Structure 1
Amino acid sequence: MPADQVANARAVTVEPLRRWQAHPAMAIRDQGGAAVGQMPASFDVDRSAGALLAGVQGDGALLTGEAASR
């Protein structure tokens, strides 16, 4: 695949995932008590939101049968 197509494909997939990841990250920050010190300083909100997103995507692949078709 030519480099410009790779860049376009990346832009089409990465940016929506970043926006989607921002939602659970915001919820974790808002509901998790980060502002009042209820979470340890070492807790990585963005990484946790990414893990949540990966789990949702994995479950979706399993439910739709995508994982089996690869």
Structure 2
Amino acid sequence: MVDRLWPRCIAKTDLLIDAWLKEVTPNPALCIWFGHDPAKWNSFSQQYLAELHSPPSCSKCP
């Protein structure tokens, strides 16, 4: 599953998943901007792919 928030009304024990990959989801600001608007899909997908290819940020790293 790739989502930052657990789906409502679904118990974690009810889904047969191996991992919950919150770390690879688009950042919240990008999701808010996108707003499920089909006209923004191409731009959203390009920005999301750029996020996936960029090094992860780490608050503990210099």
The alignment's TM-score, normalised by the length of structure 2, stands at: 0.33
The structure richer in helix per residue is 1
Structure number with greater Rg is 1
